Amino acid sequence: MLRGCNYMGAEGYISIYIPKSVADEILRRGLDVESFVIDSILEKLKLDPQEEVAIYVELAERFLSEVQEIY
């Protein structure tokens, strides 16, 4: 298990703990917490643009799958 994270299974996702005060500040600024965290991580990693696109496609597929489960 990763320290400070919960592994979410075969999908390859983890959950992390963010202090409520940090999440509240992100929301106060009108930003989405998950998008802010992902964008911040990718900015620090300085990945190849193709790798970044692949990550965003993976996230979009996950969001689409979640919406399809609801409907």
pTM of the model: 0.68
Please state the rounded mean pLDDT for residues 2-18: 66
Domain containing 34: what range?
5-70
Looking at the structure of the chain, the number of domains it has is: 1
pLDDT at position 3, please? Answer: 55
**15-59 confidence digits (pLDDT tens):** 888 999 999 999 999 999 988 999 999 999 999 999 999 999 988
pLDDT at position 1, please? Answer: 45
Tell me the backbone φ, ψ of residue 64, rounded to 5 degrees.
-65, -45
Which residue in 37, 44, 42, 36 sits closest to 15, CA to CA? 37
